């Protein structure tokens, strides 16, 4: 009687499940589905209904994303439009209303969309997790100790504890979830030259710095070690509380060009007119990044590189000839990177496109990726 053939004996009584309307899914299920949708599509979701609009900025959704390990890197771009003191923030999204079937050949389908809120001053910027920290800088032409946080989930700003010192565009770097800021002091004082913000305790502490550099041109982090380039090169490894010079890596600095550099997976990349190079620390030399076929010409004075979740985001501007040199267009490319057999690194252009048109008086503050 309990033969397997009998187990489905009554199933045929309901031949047409299609007769019932599609049952609406419970809310938590919708959350769990939308949490798996790439954040690039969230502007589209915000056009669906009131509930979905609320949902895409809710902490609940982002909690679910991280629970499902669905967090992804989201690109943010900060531009200054002087004399407006407020920098503008943009983030990379998919274009809403993009008709997939009619996608034009030239359109990447990406857009740098302005985020609705902006904070009140220009500053140094770093990202930790889903937050972007705007640190120091100038408010009404005076150095500031202010620290603002952009919560990239809801695109709202709030204040973090201020630094101990007022700092004018300090070098800000993140090591092990702590923010190390250096320089930018009004009165040079090596004992107050560096301070660190612990996001867990929400406190700023000074870092004793025997090798303070008065002027900082650029800074970066490789393998948990902060490199600060001034007249000399100073390194600091917080984990070991070890300070050092960087004599052997002098060529690292020489190859750097403005602020067109970034560190991805502990490899330093830099744009120089003609191409992108990467620093091979074993050989202490710069090597050309191969590949990049899609970017046939990239000659711009303003190129920004950013670690975009292990890929490289490249942003550059160029004159719009017909605008009488009054406008620039900002373009973006995403390049995936892979190690080759010969120890080299190859880049592959995933896409590139024009993103924004801006007045030529703009300043490119920076580009960075938050994890959401």
Partner 1 sequence: MSEGDLAVMKPETMKSYIWLQTADGSIQQVEQEVAMFCPMICQEVIQKGVGSSKNHAISLPQRVNPAMFSLILDYCRFHQLPGRSNKERKTYDERFIRMDTKRLCELTSAADSLQLKPLVDLTSRALARIIEGKNPEEIREIFHLPDDLTEEEKLEPLKNSMDDPRIRLLNRLYAKKRKELKERERLKNVEVEEHVDERSVDDLLSFINGRDHKAVKMSKGKKKKKKKKDQKIVSSNNIHDKESHDLRSKQQCVEEIGSSMREVPNLLSAEDDISTPNAGSEDEDIDDEIDPAMRELLDREVEDFAQRLNSNWVRSLGKERRPVHFSINGNGTTRRHTGMVSIWRPCMFTLF
Residues 119-178 that bind partner 1 (CB under 8 A): 138, 141-143, 168-169
The residue written with tokens 């080759």 in the block is 340
Q: Which is nearer to partner 1, 53 or 249 (CB)?
A: 53
Cβ contacts of residue 100 below 8 Å, gap of 6+?
A: none
Please, are residues 326 and 357 in contact by the beta-carbon 8 Å criterion? no
Write out the binding residues for partner 1, residues 331-350 only, by CB under 8 A.
Answer: 331, 333
Please, are residues 129 and 178 in contact by the beta-carbon 8 Å criterion? no
Minimal distance, residue 38 CB to partner 1, in Å: 6
Per-residue x/- mask for partner 1, residues 294 to 323, rule CB under 8 A?
Answer: xxxxxxxxx---------------xxxx-x
Q: Which is nearer to partner 1, 201 or 301 (CB)?
A: 301
Burial class from Cβ neighbours inside 10 Å (0-12, 13-18, 19+) for residue 106 reads exposed
Nearest to 237 by CA among 281, 183, 296, 196: 196
Per-residue x/- mask for partner 1, residues 242 to 261, rule CB under 8 A?
Answer: ----------------xx--
DSSP code of residue 367: E
Q: Which of 66, 81, 120, 222 binds partner 1 (CB under 8 A)?
A: 81
Number of H helices, E strands in the chain: 5, 26
Q: Which of 49, 201, 203, 285 binds partner 1 (CB under 8 A)?
A: 49
The residue written with tokens 């496109």 in the block is 353
Q: Which is nearer to partner 1, 203 or 357 (CB)?
A: 357
Minimal distance, residue 198 CB to partner 1, in Å: 26
Range in contact with partner 1 (rule: CB under 8 A) among 157-165, 196-204, 231-239, 268-276 = 268-276
Is residue 6 at the binding interface for partner 1, with CB under 8 A as the rule?
Answer: yes
Q: Which is nearer to partner 1, 4 or 247 (CB)?
A: 4
C-alpha atoms less than 13 angstroms from C-alpha of 121 in its C-beta half-sphere:
24
Minimal distance, residue 241 CB to partner 1, in Å: 27
Q: Which of 60, 84, 189, 265 binds partner 1 (CB under 8 A)?
A: 84
Distances (CA, A) of 25 to 21, 44, 117, 232: 12, 19, 33, 62
Q: With CB under 8 A as the rule, give the number of residues binding partner 1.
A: 114
How far, in whole angstroms, is CA 41 from its chain's centroid? Answer: 17
């Amino acid at each position: 009687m309990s033969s397997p053939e009998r187990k489905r004996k009554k199933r045929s009584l309901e031949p047409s499940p299609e007769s019932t309307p599609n049952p609406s899914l419970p809310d938590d299920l919708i959350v769990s589905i939308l949490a798996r949708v790439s954040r690039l599509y969230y502007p589209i979701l915000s056009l669906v209904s009131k509930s979905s609009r609320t949902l895409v900025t809710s902490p609940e959704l982002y909690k679910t994303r991280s629970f499902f390990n669905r967090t992804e890197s989201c690109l943010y771009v900060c531009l200054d439009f002087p004399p407006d003191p407020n920098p503008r923030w943009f983030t990379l999204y998919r274009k809403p209303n993009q008709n997939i079937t009619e996608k034009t050949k030239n359109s990447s389908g990406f857009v740098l969309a302005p985020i609705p809120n902006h904070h009140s001053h220009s500053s140094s910027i770093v990202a930790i997790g889903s937050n972007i920290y705007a640190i120091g800088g100038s408010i009404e032409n005076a150095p500031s100790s202010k620290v603002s946080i952009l919560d990239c989930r809801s695109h709202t700003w709030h204040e973090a504890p201020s630094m101990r010192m007022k700092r004018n565009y300090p070098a800000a770097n993140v090591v092990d979830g702590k923010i190390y800021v250096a320089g930018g002091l009004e009165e040079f004082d090596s004992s107050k030259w560096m301070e660190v913000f612990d996001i867990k305790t929400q406190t700023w502490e000074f870092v004793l710095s025997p090798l303070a550099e008065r002027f900082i041109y650029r800074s970066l982090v490789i393998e948990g070690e902060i490199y600060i380039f001034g007249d000399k090169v100073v390194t600091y490894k917080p984990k070991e509380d070890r300070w050092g010079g960087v004599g052997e890596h002098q060529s690292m600095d020489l190859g750097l060009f403005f602020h067109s550099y970034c560190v991805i997976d502990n490899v330093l990349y830099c744009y120089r007119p003609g191409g992108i190079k990467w620093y091979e620390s074993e050989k202490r030399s710069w090597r050309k990044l191969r590949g990049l076929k899609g970017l046939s010409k990239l000659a711009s004075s303003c190129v920004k590189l950013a670690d975009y979740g292990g890929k490289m985001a490249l942003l550059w501007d160029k004159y719009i000839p017909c605008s009488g040199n009054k406008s620039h267009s900002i373009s973006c490319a995403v390049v995936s990177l892979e190690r080759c057999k010969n120890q080299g690194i190859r880049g592959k252009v995933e896409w590139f496109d024009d993103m924004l048109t801006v007045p030529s008086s703009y300043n490119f503050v920076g580009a960075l990726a938050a994890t959401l």
